[in-house]
Structure 1
Amino acid sequence: MEAFLISTGIVALAEIGDKTQLLAFVLAAKFRRPIPIVAAIFVATLANHAFAAAIGTWITSLLGPNVLRWVLGASFIAMAVWTLVPDKLDEEDTRFPRYGVFMTTLVAFFMAEMGDKTQVATVALAARYDSLLAVVAGTTLGMMLANVPAVYLGDRIAHRISLPLVHGIAAVIFAVLGVATLLGVGAGLAS
Structure 2
Amino acid sequence: MKVLKRMILLSIFFFTILSSAQNGGKMKKKFGMVDTDNNNKISLEEMITFYKGKKTKKGTPVDAKAMFLGLDSNDDGKLVLKEFIKPVNRKKASEKSKNIKKVAIKQVSLAKTEKLFGLMNTNGDNVISKSEWVKYQEAKAKKLGKPAKNVNLKFLGTDKDNDGKITIQELLLDVDWKLAKQRQKIQ
TM-score by structure 1 length?
A: 0.26
Q: Which has a greater percent of helix?
A: 1
TM-score by structure 2 length?
A: 0.26
Q: Which has the larger radius of gyration?
A: 2
Q: Which has a greater percent of strand?
A: 2
